[in-house]
Amino acid sequence: MKKLSLLLFLLSSISVLAQSQYPVMKDSIINPGIYRTFAEFRNNKPTILLNHKIISDEVSYGGFGSSNSLTAYAIDIPKKEGREIGEVFGFSDGKNFYFIASEYTDIYFPNKIHNFNFYKVESVGKYCYYDAIQNSGPNSGTIPTRRINVLNMDLGEIKLLSKSYLKELLSEKPELLERFKKQENKYQHLKEYLIEFLKVN
């Protein structure tokens, strides 16, 4: 019985490991190009060639009069070509990845490659994360804010990092979760705990 339990555990561990080792994580060469979908990114198979330069601009957040800004990226391509390509998940220059601000399309800043609505990914692994500006469309009635996006590589879901979502992640590491529960000003330490979780996960 013990041998059977051990075998099942090993098979389960191998299955989890296999799921985590997606091509984009294990390939020695990252293929540059434009990803129409999350699956193209995860499989390291962009279907559109990157024939134009990646450019950047500073996008403001925090409301009227705020001096806060974050670097956003786009592809230097004529708007007509960008519209013809349509909405995309992101792109890569072979070194870095640039993803949409969120999984939801903003009517004023659609996820088309000529718009500054893409942000550099900081870490690629079981979970990818990056800072992005949310609700940045003009006349949207909301103040643009800087949030941390977390992409689950198994599910392909992008979620905003919140206290509740971080607790959900930290449930895999009880000691780290307990420390977070005792942390003062939790909102200011979300990224810090996420990074620590990813180091030990």
122-145 residue pLDDT tens:
999 999 999 999 865 555 567 888
Burial of 18 (0-12, 13-18, 19+ CB in 10 A): exposed
Per-residue exposure over 162-175, b if at least 16 CB sit within 10 Å of its own CB, e if not: eeeebeebbeebee
- Concatenated DSSP letters of 1-62: -HHHHHHHHHHHHHHHHHHH--HHHH-SSPPPEEESSHHHHHTT--SB---S-EEEEEEE-S
Whether residue 112 is contained in a domain is answered as yes
Of the pLDDT bands very low, low, confident and very high (cuts 50, 70, 90), residue 41 is very high
68-96 residue pLDDT tens:
999 999 999 999 999 899 889 999 999 99
User: Quick one: 125 and 175 in the same domain?
Assistant: no
| pLDDT above 90 coverage of the chain, percent | 64
Whether residue 9 is contained in a domain is answered as no
Count: domains in the chain: 2
Tokens of 179: 């420390």
**Average predicted confidence (pLDDT) for the chain:** 85
User: Quick one: 108 and 89 in the same domain?
Assistant: yes
* 12 has a pLDDT exceeding 70: no
- The residue written with tokens 């940045």 in the block is 136
User: Quick one: 169 and 125 in the same domain?
Assistant: no
User: Quick one: 137 and 169 in the same domain?
Assistant: no
User: Quick one: 190 and 141 in the same domain?
Assistant: no
Whether residue 2 is contained in a domain is answered as no
Q: Which domain, by its residues, includes 28? A: 22-157
User: Quick one: 101 and 171 in the same domain?
Assistant: no
Q: What is the pTM of this model?
A: 0.83
What pLDDT is recorded for position 143?
A: 82
